[in-house]
Amino acid sequence: MDPIALAEHVKAGNVRAVSRLITLLENQEPVGQAALERLNGSPRPAAVIGVTGYPGSGKSTLIDQLVTAYRRQGKKVGIVAVDTTSPRTGGALLGDRIRMQDHAMDGGVFIRSMATRGERGGLARATRGAVRVLEAAGYDVILVETVGVGQLETDVADVAPTVVAIVAPGLGDEVQALKAGLLETAHIVVVNKGDRDGADATVKDLQEWHPRVIRTVAIKGEGMPELIEAIAEHQRIVDLHSKPAT
């Protein structure tokens, strides 16, 4: 495989080339790295959003809602779901696929699951590369889902300038752990499952620690406009800082 041709196909938005290059990067094939190096100079930077949180907090359901909203805005959306190689993986992956099925037929949406292969930090070795590939292929928004099981996961911030941390009500000890670590790296905190008992208390509790707490009911789409606006607002701040002063 010629890395130059592969890079050209990726830049032209060819889905098979995108998929193939990500696989090469996962397998640490030198030709993948060579193609990656040819992707510089994306016409427009993508909005990369990290979505992290404890297993079952509703990350995939929320991402599904975000995809619908961004598609309505006419944006192309890439999703990289990072999974651990733990025994619960099979179920989680299947769940993601089922929930994302509506979007799987949509040419403006690219979905890719990646295994962490035991790597620390919750992010697959190739996640960063996958994000670059999707950006070069013209995806406007790239969502990275990672399983948050503690401070190890905070390196999602290295890949995504905007990090959304999701908590479900009534986690008790886990919320305490979040306060100590993840809240520092999350730009937006979402209390999902707002339809559950204890949601009010969790929101109030977290608001004392974080300036941007949003309550959602992802299964019903409640709170999504607020979340979309909070993400957009944070991205405006990121853009201001990344643009050279004039």
Ligand X SMILES: Nc1nc2c(ncn2[C@@H]2O[C@H](COP(=O)(O)OP(=O)(O)OP(=O)(O)O)[C@@H](O)[C@H]2O)c(=O)[nH]1
Shortest distance (Å) from residue 193 CB to Mg ion: 14
Q: What angle do CA 193, 197, 203 make, to 5 degrees?
A: 65
- The residue ranges that bind ligand X (CB under 6 A) are 53, 55-61, 92, 95, 147, 192-193, 195-196, 217-219
Taking the least distance from each CB to ligand X, the nearer of 155 and 195 is 195
CA distance 39 to 126: 15
Binding mask 23-42 for Mg ion (x = CB under 5 A): --------------------
60 interacts with Mg ion by CB under 5 A: yes
Smallest distance from ligand X to CB 51, Å: 9
Nearer to ligand X by Cβ, of 146 and 162: the residue is 146
Residues 6+ apart with CB under 8 A from 53: 59, 147, 148, 165, 166, 167, 168, 190, 192
How far apart, in Å, are the Cα atoms of 222 and each of 19, 74, 77, 217, 227?
33, 21, 21, 5, 10
> Smallest distance, Å, CB 157 to ligand X?
18
Q: Which backbone phi and psi does 231 adopt, to 5 degrees? A: -65, -45
Closest CB 109 distance from ligand X, rounded Å: 17
Give rounded-to-5 percent helix, strand, coil for the chain: 50, 15, 35
Residues 185-214 that bind Mg ion (CB under 5 A): none
Between 81 and 110, how does the x/- string for binding to Mg ion read (CB under 5 A)?
A: ---------------x--------------
CB closer to ligand X, 36 vs 167 = 167
CA nearest to 56, candidates 85, 84, 90, 95: 95
Cβ proximity to ligand X, 61 vs 154, nearer residue: 61
Residue 219 contact among Mg ion, ligand X, none, beta carbon within 5 to 8 Å by kind: ligand X
* Nearest-5° Cα angle at 102, 87 to 65: 80
Torsion of CA 83, 88, 91, 94, to 10 degrees: 10
48 within 8 A of 19, measured Cβ to Cβ: no
Determine, following the binding rule CB under 5 A, whether residue 146 of this chain makes contact with Mg ion.
no
Number of residues this chain uses to bind Mg ion (CB under 5 A): 3
- Non-local (6+) Cβ contacts of 242 within 8 A are 45, 161
Instruction: Check residue 61 for interaction with Mg ion (CB under 5 A).
Output: no
With CB under 5 to 8 Å by kind, the binding choice for 192 among ligand X, Mg ion, none is: ligand X
Contact residues for Mg ion, defined by CB under 5 A: 59-60, 96
